[in-house]
Amino acid sequence: MVRKLFTSESVTEGHPDKVCDQISDAVLDAIMEHDPMGRVACEVTATTGLVHVMGEITTNCYVDIQKIVRETVEEIGYTRAKFGFDADTCGVITSIHEQSTDIALGVDKALEAKKGEMSEADVAAIGAGDQGMMFGYACDETPELMPMPISLAHKLARKLAQVRRDGVLDYLRPDGKTQVTVEYIDDKPVRVDTIVVSTQHSPDVDQAAIEKDMIEHVIKPIIPKDMLDDKTKYYINPTGRFVIGGPHGDSGLTGRKIIVDTYGGYARHGGGAFSGKDPTKVDRSASYAARYVAKNVVAAGLASKCEVQLAYAIGVAKPVSVLIETFGTGKIADDKISEIVSRVFDLRPAAIIRDLDLRKPIYKKLAAYGHMGRTDLGVSWEKTDKADILKKEAGL
């Protein structure tokens, strides 16, 4: 037997980096609602009393960025000046300009269309918005086909936010982090070894009460009983105090939680962030497509683990490479699965946008608690509607 421990973390919507992600995606959603063809690359930084919105936006509509910022901060729960950061008193600075015309040249018309290899009328005649590689992953450890450590960490973070919002624990404040260590034997999850919960709180509650409440109201309702035992370790606010938090406790920045957004470190990551980017940016759209491919491969029974790498050149529609890795769990050879995937899925950026219906305001709700495995939101890349055709193509 081979024993190993693997750990993943999540954060709540009040974490300073996640505040910035949500503001970036709120701006994107507002533009997508009125101008689905808008080009958006919106980044945000936040600190005590200040939000700075910056980036490249090309659109034919007007959105009130200051209003979007304040509404988003209020929804997250920073509503009192005593938190050191609140929706009513924070300053909002904007530094926005249009997308570079050099980049737009490649996005507006793909290299293949310029060479006559593709009709300009083709729905997929736009080019990738940047070069780079993107990864998608799926495995059979959970019903949503996600790795168990990140799945449990996200569920704990969402539960932590829920008991705050519902007033069950009225001393909680918006910032928080969770972490779960899962023990594997022969690559199968068998128990939860360690749980860490750090939650911002009011100054008038003692550590013992927080520890008791986190175990009773957050951990026990989420972690399956058969995954806990008398050796499971719990670390609740291990410093002993977490009153100063959010952008007051630490500056925030869009795109600084990319591992939380994806697979918790269980699979590789291409390095590109998602939030604030319209779907012509393959950092976002191709990562969703790679997850879609990987999930359907696992759902089809072609493998119990599947990692997909896609790579693009800026201004070129077709990916320069498609790689499938099943870590020895494939029912057929990985290169055969790659061939089938290339036939079944159109992985040109505009085809991804079309097939996954990405030109609509769906992004703000994804900006906290992960972009993958979100079966609760009904997002298109979590569908397994290609599983049957993959199984047929593989002869299974």
Give me the mean pLDDT over the 8-19 stretch.
98
pLDDT (tens digit per residue) in 46-86: 999 999 999 999 999 999 999 999 999 999 999 988 777 89
pLDDT of residue 82: 77
pLDDT (tens digit per residue) in 314-327: 888 899 999 999 99
pLDDT of residue 197: 98
Give me the mean pLDDT over the 230-243 stretch.
95
Full DSSP string of 265-292? TSS---S---TTB-TTSHHHHHHHHHHH
Give me the mean pLDDT over the 173-177 stretch.
97
DSSP label at residue 226: G
> Using an 8 Å Cβ cutoff, are 317 and 128 in contact?
yes
pLDDT of residue 101: 53
16 vs 127 pLDDT, higher one:
16
Average pLDDT, the chain: 93
Give me the mean pLDDT over the 90-94 stretch.
95
- Helix pair 65-76, 16-34: axis angle to 10 deg: 130
Compute the Cα dihedral for 152, 158, 160, 163 and give only its sign. Answer: negative
Annotated binding-site ranges: 15, 17, 43, 56, 99, 175-177, 241-242, 250, 256-257, 273, 277, 281
Annotated binding-site ranges for K(+): 43
Examine the pLDDT at 389 and tell me if it is beyond 80.
Answer: yes
Examine the pLDDT at 88 and tell me if it is beyond 90.
Answer: yes
Annotated binding-site ranges for ATP: 15, 175-177, 241-242, 250, 256-257, 273, 277
Give me the mean pLDDT over the 16-40 stretch.
96
Give me the mean pLDDT over the 233-244 stretch.
94
pLDDT (tens digit per residue) in 255-275: 999 999 999 999 999 999 999
Annotated binding-site ranges for Mg(2+): 17
Where does the pLDDT of residue 378 fall: very low under 50, low under 70, confident under 90, or very high at 90 and above?
very high
pLDDT of residue 119: 52
Give me the mean pLDDT over the 279-303 stretch.
97
User: Residues, the chain, total?
Assistant: 396
pLDDT of residue 118: 56
Give me the mean pLDDT over the 228-237 stretch.
97
Give the predicted TM-score (pTM) of the model.
Answer: 0.93
Annotated binding-site ranges for L-methionine: 56, 99, 250, 281
pLDDT (tens digit per residue) in 100-159: 555 554 555 555 565 566 555 555 567 776 789 999 999 999 999 999 999 999 999 999
Full DSSP string of 313-366? -BT-SS-SEEEEE-TT--SS-HHHHHHHHHHH---SHHHHHHHHT-SSS-SGGG
Rounded distance between C-alpha atoms, residue 20 and residue 297, angstroms: 34
pLDDT of residue 36: 94
pLDDT of residue 109: 55
